[in-house]
A and B are shown apart, each in its own frame.
Chain A
Amino acid sequence: MVNLEYLKKSPLEKFAYNFVEFFKSLPAKMGAFFKRIPSKLLKLWQAFAGIFVTLWQALVHGDWKTRPSFIVMGFGHFARKQWLRGLLYFVLEVVFILYMALFGWKYLDKMGDLGEVAKITTTDPLTGLENYKFVDNSLLILLYSLLTIFIIVAFVASWYMNIRGNWLAQQAEEARQKLPTTEDDIRSYADEQYHKTLLSVPMLGVFVFTVLPIIFMIFVAFTNYDKAHMPPGNLFTWTGFENFEILFGTGITPNSKAFAYTFREILLWTVIWAFFATFTNYILGMVVAILINKKGIKFKKLWRTILVVTVAVPQFVSLMLMSQFLQDYGLFNNLMMNWGWISSPIKFLSDPILAKITVIVVNIWIGIPYSMLICTGILMNIPTDLYESARIDGASPLKMYMKITLPYMLHVTTPYLITQFIGNLNNFNVIFLLTGGEPLDLNFQYAGRTDLLITWLYKLTVNQSQYGIASVIGIITFIVVAVFSLILYNRSGSVKNEEDFM
């Protein structure tokens, strides 16, 4: 397919085309991937071997300042009067040894079975009351052993850096070069190494509150952590792929079939929802922006401000408000019945199909102002002579929209669309605050007809304490999001180069 043919397609067709193309190109890509493996492996091996070469050289050729650094970190730096580096390395080593001995080892030791004794029950001989003494807590064992593994990796890395640093310093000394002093080091953290100063705190935050928890939850997906296995009273343990099996319908538990059914339905609805929520907002927002931008329309600023005001009202207020107005006996139905337009209430939020439509429509109401704002700025950048020449050629407004406006907008705003789509896959607020996932369905496991994967995950965690299965859903959500972003980014990259607009 040549570029022109691609450009002629409607957005829907384009997406379908991209979708098919992605899977068509998979074999070729995988082939290319496997072809690259040997060279990658070689590079990896070289990097890996390089580490040992450095260590070996430092061990064999190191002088009296370098060699002790293998055991006492920072020794060489002290000997070379680089006080700050030496001190940091030394403190690091002491802290690490203390941490491992007093804390880390204890947990790492139990990681294999996540604890053996949950609690010791003793009966008070005088009162007959039972006392509990909690021993092993699977949750903490898992959490801390993961943390300890990370700390060990970080320590080994800094141990290597310490030796390498000493080895390089020794070589520099032999070449009669000046070594950086402590003042130089400090100064460099405001200059060449300023990124370390800037990024250390943000990255620490990301590590503790995102990386560690995500890895923890991935591990939880392989355990039987649920209501019946809740620490500190009880232990949970490794169960392999049992949770995955339950979710795919081949599990041994009686509710496995129902879980699989719920999962399929919710996954399907999540994708449908994200698709409609993204594109209805985008297209309609663009239309509104075009209307406001139209030549000869006055009070442009007023129209825009009216819409921006609705953006400013916190989203949860708008959503909760709508959820109340659209109840079976809420304001909307009552008014319509009072005026005699309908005889019985429209089930906006309690009919499975209608509720889905309502959710999408309310989302349009919420989302149009955003997309309108984004489109307004870009629309003004489209060169007017394009429209002039189209008009001379006798193009209708609709045709001009399809041939000029839409391609241009899609070209410029693809990244926005992708982030919107991905955001909608995980759009918690709109669903949870508007319908709460309802209407409920008896065939569903702990979910309703409008639940997305993310709200189901929330319910399973908060209301049901089914952490194991919730983690599996989280992992699957990640896979869905990653696949879609790969497809979209892949195509958008090539599309960008192909249809470089002007």
Chain B
Amino acid sequence: MANARKFRSKKLMEKTSNIVVYAILIIISVVWLIPFVLLFIQSLSGDMVGYSIMSIFPKKWTFDNYIRLFTDTMFLTWYGNTLIVSIVVMIVQTVIVLATSYALSRMRFKMRKPLMNLMLILGMFPGFLSMTAVYFILKEIGLTQNLIGLMLVYTASSAMGYYICKGFFDTVPKSLDEAARIDGANRATVFFRIILPLAKPIIIYTVLMAFTAPWGEYMFSSFLMLGDPSKFTVAVGMKEWIGREMVNQYFGVFCAAAVVVSIPIVLLFMFLQRYYVEGVTGGAVKG
């Protein structure tokens, strides 16, 4: 009898605690999603009140913001710029990261440790410190206010982000390489035929990260493209819209642009969520 009651009370406790957890999770989901829902609603608003919106739901619903976005503004140019930059960055950065990671993970040479230490120390300098000098180097070769210059800035130092990928390569058993090398394969063959096919999750992760980074990067692109709106990326251009002078006129357009920018990336993430989680978790543990 006593046992049964104890069991029942335990069940009850379990149930109430579950209800509490559900409540918390629902609150969290709402808090996390509501700003984006508001963003979406505002993008359809015809109220033209700028950022000082008085109510959640607008009085007038229209697609005007979207129409203005594509006809009145330079958004399409910016979108195209960002797309081109991110595609090139994605390809180059992935190749560089894979090559660096393989060399540092699989091969043993005299400069290996010094190189890794050097990159660790370089990583501690604030990235923007070097920007002034990079700007003048690019100016000397005539690549400021130029998309190729931006691509160079984004990709040139990508070798320094080898950690996660190397961590993955480290987990691939060495015996695989050795077996192949006994069969007469050279290092290059091992890399292309054995390591790369096994590295699919980490390649997808690297590609995903490299592709999405230029969409959110503001610091370098704003400095490099200063004064030439036709070369802006979306982040730089949209920041202009919410500056003090323009925000009242452009807030609706800003919301519409945010929706247009976000949707493809969100879809990409949902599609590749598994790889993203794998990469992030692996990187966190191995460091």
Contacts and interface: CB of A to CB of B under 8 A. Distances in A.
**Residue among B115, B128, B239, B262 with most chain A CB within 10 A:** B128
B277 A453 contact: no
Contact of A291 (B21, B191, B226): B21
B285 interface: yes
Interface of B: 14, 18, 21-22, 24-25, 28-29, 31-33, 35-36, 38-39, 51-56, 96, 99-100, 102-103, 107, 109, 112, 115, 119, 121-122, 124-134, 136-137, 140, 152-153, 155-160, 186-188, 191, 212, 215-216, 218-219, 222-223, 226, 235, 238-239, 242, 247, 251, 254, 258, 261-262, 265-266, 268-270, 273, 276-277, 280-281, 283-287
B18 A206 contact: no
Given A210-B156, A335-B56, A474-B126, A203 B38 contact: no
B212 A308 contact: no
B216 A305 contact: no
A201 B25 CA distance: 48
A325 B38 contact: yes
9 contacts: A194-B188, A202-B159, A309-B33, A313-B265, A320-B254, A373-B280, A428-B219, A462-B222, A482-B124
Interface of A: 139-140, 143, 187, 190-192, 194-195, 197-199, 201-203, 205-206, 208-214, 216-217, 220, 288, 291-292, 294, 296-297, 303, 305-318, 320-325, 327, 329-331, 334-335, 338, 365, 368-370, 373-374, 376-378, 412-416, 418-419, 422, 426, 428-429, 432-433, 453-454, 457-458, 461-462, 467, 470-471, 474-475, 477-478, 481-482, 485
B162 to A, nearest CB: 9
A327 B51 contact: yes
A306 B28 CA distance: 10
B266 A458 contact: no
A190 B186 CA distance: 7
Contact of A481 (B52, B124, B187, B285): B124
B273 A305 contact: yes
The DSSP consensus for interface residues of chain B is helix
- Which 5 pairs show the lowest CB-CB distances between chains A and B? A415-B287, A474-B129, A312-B269, A213-B130, A213-B133
Contact of B216 (A310, A327, A429, A477): A429
A217 B130 contact: yes
A203 B115 contact: yes
A314 B281 contact: no
Contact of A297 (B25, B51, B128, B219): B25
Contact of A190 (B29, B129, B187, B262): B187
Contacts of B35: 318, 321-322, 325
Contacts of B266: 309, 312-313
A108 to B, nearest CB: 17
Given A307-B32, A308-B273, A324-B242, A330 B52 contact: yes
A38 to B, nearest CB: 22
Contact of A209 (B128, B134, B269): B134
A190 B100 contact: no
A374 B280 contact: yes
Contact of B188 (A191, A292, A315, A471): A191
Nearest to B153: A209
Contacts of A467: 132
A214 B130 contact: yes
Contacts of A329: 51-52
Given A208-B156, A462-B223, A140 B29 contact: no
A177 B237 CA distance: 66
Nearest to A202: B159
B21 A309 contact: no
A191 B54 CA distance: 68
A78 to B, nearest CB: 27
A18 to B, nearest CB: 17
B22 A217 contact: no
A107 B96 CA distance: 33
A324 B251 contact: yes
A23 B127 CA distance: 28
A373 B127 contact: no
Contact of B129 (A140, A308, A471): A471
A306 B216 contact: no
A205 B156 contact: yes
B42 to A, nearest CB: 8
A194 B186 contact: yes
Given A209-B152, A296-B14, A312-B270, A457 B284 contact: no
Contacts of A338: 54-55
A288 B31 CA distance: 13
Given A198-B102, A291-B24, A313-B36, A205 B96 contact: yes
B277 A377 contact: yes
Contact of B136 (A139, A210, A309, A432): A139
A213 B285 contact: no
Contact of B281 (A307, A316, A374): A374
B269 A419 contact: no
Given A306-B32, A334-B54, A461-B131, A419 B287 contact: yes
A335 B188 CA distance: 63
Contacts of B159: 199, 202-203, 205-206
Contacts of B51: 324-325, 327, 329-331
Contacts of B261: 314, 317
Contacts of B130: 209-210, 213-214, 216-217
Contacts of A419: 287
Nearest to B243: A436
Contacts of A325: 35, 38, 51
**Residue among B51, B222, B242 with most chain A CB within 10 A:** B51
A457 B128 contact: yes
Contacts of B140: 140, 143
A198 B133 contact: no
Contact of A413 (B54, B128, B226, B284): B284
A191 B186 contact: yes
A475 B125 CA distance: 7
B286 A415 contact: yes
Contacts of B262: 312-314, 317
Contacts of B156: 205-206, 208-210
A310 B36 contact: yes
A477 B129 contact: yes
Contact of B122 (A210, A323, A415): A210
A428 B220 CA distance: 11
Contacts of B125: 214, 474, 477-478, 481
A254 B45 CA distance: 52
Nearest to A212: B133
Contacts of A368: 32
B239 A214 contact: no
A482 B18 CA distance: 45
